[in-house]
Amino acid sequence: MNSSAPVPSLRAPFMAATLLCLFLVSSLSLHAQRLPQTARPESYTLTLTPDLKAATFAGVESIDVTLAEPTASITLNAIEIAFRGVTVTAAGKQQKAAVSLDAQKEQATLTFPEKLPAGKATLSIAYTGILNNELRGFYLSKTARRNYAVTQFESTDARRAFPSFDEPAFKATYDVTLVVDSADSAISNGPIVSDTPGPAAGKHTLHFATTPKMSTYLVAFLVGDFQCTAGEQDGVAIRVCSTPDKVALTPYGVEIARYVLHYYNNYFGIPYPLKKLDLIALPDFEAGAMENFGAITYRETALLLDPKTASVHSKREVALVIAHEMAHQWFGDLVTMQWWDNLWLNEGFATWMENKPVAAMHPEWNMDQTVAADVETTLNVDAQPTTRAIRAKAETPAEIEQMFDGIAYGKAGAVLLSVENYLGEETFRKGVHNYLAAHLYSNATAEDFWGAQTAASGKPVDKIMGSLVAQPGAPILTFGEPAGGKVTVAQKRFFLSPSIQADPAQKWTLPVCFKTGADSQECQVLTPGDLTLNAPAAQPFFADAGGKGYYRSAYAPSNYAALVSSVENGLTPTERISLIGDEWAQFRANKATTGDYLNLVAAVKDDPNAQVVGAALTGINSIFSQVAATLEEKAGLAAWIRSTFGPVYARLGAASDNDSANARELRAQVFGVLGYYGKDPAVLDQARLIAEQYLADPASVDANLGQTALAIAARNGDAVLFDKLQKVFETSANPEIQEGALHLLPQFTDPALLQRSMDYAASGKVRNQDTASLFGIALQIGDNRELAWKYIQSHWDQVRAQVSPQMMTRVVASTGNFCSQAGREDVKSFFASHKVAAADKSLQHAMERIDGCIELRTLQEPNLKLWLAAQPK
């Protein structure tokens, strides 16, 4: 599916003792939310009857359990459930249960008159529940035409739909029956095995095949008038489903899913175990997608697509999300982490794996470059003042929800990539197969995985992964001048902020791979005690072959100069992305100047790869918004952008139907920087014309260029364009075009139009899942930030009512775009009196980002002035 404060120094033993007592009480409370191990479920039989008009449902459930010891009570999870009757049958005797609820722990305890013997028992439960509007549990998803009843259970919300042992290690089988309106269909994890009329008039009963053993959070049931496009691969029935008005956008997903399923069957050497695989687009869905076993759910934008009008970016992203969730059918569904502290065993693996089938299916998309750029993003996340280890403690639902972050996904995936690069793809694949085969339909830990890799490779994967998984942060490796076949190396934790001093005791064991030729490398394991490594003879000296290492690199001045001078002919595209990322990190840490970074950008401006140029332009975006503080500085930077990238755009020429995917993206990127930051008059005029053409007929313009032109036009747009975009959002049946139009509304810099976009976001006319994005986008734009923040503050109750609880954390996170002490204090003061659930880490990171921006501007703005003054006029 889709970091912590330092401990203050304590001045007195009394304070230390008090804090310890509070910690112990807190810890006991947290652990008390875990269920006892007395009862283990073996199978569930569920019959649910949803009433979509009344927004309620009735449930009848039986759970076969095994009792480890005699007991007079059984505790399971339940919240927002009304129990109507509970009995237990054990040793041939039936007893009624008394039910006591603990809403804070989200638990129900069933107490019996007589103690149950150890062994088999069956719980029978009748209950009712609500179809909520919170996008979790069993909830309502709505269109203008009708309601749907759908589910989202990860991480701890199955308990809202049926009383359950709602922890990942309590795996069981599920026998699901849905009683629905005669005109409706239903989807669950297994295929339909029977469809019978009744039991009441106007109803029919759908019974689904029993599932394999799986965790509660992977159960799914969806009710409505879904329509599907069907396909088949390797004996598995594949469907992509949607609301009826969007079924024409489902074939692309079928094409991707068929390819990915066959690829994964071959790669894992373990066939997909179910008879069918459904991928379902839901109108209201908070996450990007959810890997329910055999019934994967998606946001409409993450699954539905028209290839004739879609951008390369959208095609790639839909393919990646499909591949990510399908990877979970093995990593997460077949083999599940023992507890949420090892969430990375699900999300990190899927993040690493998703790129492989997409790269094989579409080599023209240069997925290795996308992966390299993602690694750079993750390294920056991991260099914030506070971050967390890949494996981290999480006990409460709120703590578990905060685990779904850039560490569980990005860092874990990058670490796996690094280890795979060190071992070799085939050796690593064998380790993956052995790990999965040893834990099918069961649970696993981090040690299980790296133990399998160590055994398969005979290399110290356990020490490497133990080091990378257990420690927060990432190292920077500082290399000396190679001499005599050796090179000195020093490692320490890297922080983007130069004011933070790393703990000298923190060291890593990790593979370092040196470039030895055009496409060759030599990897060595760096341990905490190593001060030198063997240096290759190849020139230039480059210490991150393929851009796959999980570390930052710093070079001696002469070596860095050699790398820059040969960046276009001595390094591969992924290595160029790595070098750009390392130089950006040095710039942020005040080890390099603004001019040093922009000179590197100039060195790669003619690079033929869109991802390389895109990596460089990311830094320009940050310099423009975070370092340039005056109109004069922004104008100087804009002039440099025009003089540097204007000739590049001219050489790329006009768009053509014969353009490669890379050429389309590259042209759009250069056009975008010239219009958005360069304010090039010719580009601004062209953007208005292309935007009008794209709005009139999306198929008439290359989507990459058309969407970029529309963004430039919106930034400088009037009420006429605003009205057109609002109409597109309200009338289009294409999710990509619809969402694109919506996200442009808060980018208009006219204050009156920005006010309209904020009113619209808070009006209830935008889905809860999308409202937070509008406020977040407005807060990202310097010209709009102050007005948007004042609006949020003055309309707080209205904003909260329109944003789902989980998405509110994104609104909090977006306040991190401020870059002044006054802004920081305002944000801090506001959220001190306007608490947002489960947003403590988001607020902490927002404060850190503001501090980082203030520090960056203070240190680098003078360098920018000097560099601009030295540029040709």
Q: What is the distance between the alpha carbons of residues 191 and 187, in angstroms, rounded to a whole number?
A: 8
pLDDT band at residue 3 under the 50/70/90 scheme? very low
Three-state SS string across 211-257, please?
A: CCCECHHHCCEEEECCEEEEEEECCEEEEEEECHHHHHHCHHHHHHH
Q: How far apart are CA 345 and CA 488, in angstroms?
A: 35
Q: Mean of the pLDDT values across residues 372-398?
A: 96
Under 8 Å between Cβ of 232 and 254: no
DSSP string, 576-640: HHHHHHHHHHHHHTTSS-HHHHHHHHHHHTT-S-HHHHHHHHHHHHHIIIII--SHHHHHHHHHH
- What is the reported pLDDT for 468? 98
pLDDT, tens digit, for every residue of 333-365? 999 999 999 999 999 999 999 999 999 999 999
Q: Measured in Å, how far apart are the chain's first and last C-alpha atoms?
A: 51
CA distances, 715 to each of 2, 640, 691, 775 (Å): 29, 21, 12, 16
Give the catalytic positions in this structure.
325
Q: Among 51-65, 214-228, 665-679, 804-818, name the one with the lowest average pLDDT.
A: 804-818
- DSSP 3-state of 341: helix
**From CA 318, how far away is CA 358, in angstroms rounded?**
10
* Neighbouring residues of 707: CB distance < 8 A, sequence distance ≥ 6: 311, 668, 694, 740
The pLDDT assigned to 805 comes to 80
User: Is residue 29 scored above 70 in pLDDT?
Assistant: no
Indicate the SS3 state at residue 383: coil
Q: Could you report the per-residue pLDDT of 667-726, keeping only the tens digit for each? A: 999 999 999 999 999 999 999 999 999 999 999 999 999 999 999 999 999 999 999 999
SS3 121: strand
Spell out the alpha helix ranges (H) of 278-408.
312-328, 344-353, 355-361, 367-381, 397-401
Q: What average pLDDT does the segment 510-532 reach?
A: 97
Greatest Cα pair distance in the chain: 93
At residue 31, does pLDDT exceed 70? Answer: no
Residues 180-209 pLDDT 10s: 999 999 999 999 999 999 999 999 999 999
Question: Is 326 in contact with 256 (CB distance < 8 Å)?
Answer: no
pLDDT above 50 (res 415): yes
Q: How many CB atoms lie within 10 A of CB 810?
A: 17
- pLDDT at residue 24 is higher than 90: no
pLDDT at 222: 98
Q: Is 485 helix (H, G, I), strand (E, B) or coil?
A: coil
Question: Which amino acid, 335?
Answer: V
How are strands ordered across the β-sheet holding 221-224?
137-142, 147-152, 221-224, 185-188
Task: Give the DSSP H or E segment for 122.
Answer: strand 119-130
pLDDT for 20? 31
Three-class SS state of 280 = strand
What's the rounded mean pLDDT across residues 630-652? 98
Mean of the pLDDT values across residues 741-755?
98
Q: What is the pLDDT of residue 140?
A: 97
Q: How far is CA 599 from CA 140, 282, 632, 633, 645, in A?
A: 53, 47, 20, 17, 13
pLDDT tens column, 223-263: 999 999 999 999 999 999 999 999 999 999 999 999 999 99
Confidence band, pLDDT 50/70/90 cuts, at residue 32: low
Average pLDDT over residues 38-53: 98
The whole-number pLDDT of residue 529 equals 97
Measured distance CA(148)–CA(467) in Å, rounded: 47
Residue 310 has pLDDT above 90, yes or no: yes
As a whole number of angstroms, the distance between CA 746 and CA 785 comes to 10
The overall average pLDDT reported for the chain is 95
Q: What was the pLDDT predicted at 28? A: 36
Burial 687-714 (b: 16+ CB within 10 A, else e): bbebbeebbeebeebbbbbbbbbbbbbb
Span 729-735, mean pLDDT?
97
pLDDT for position 284? 96
Is the Cβ–Cβ distance between 727 and 696 less than 8 Å? no
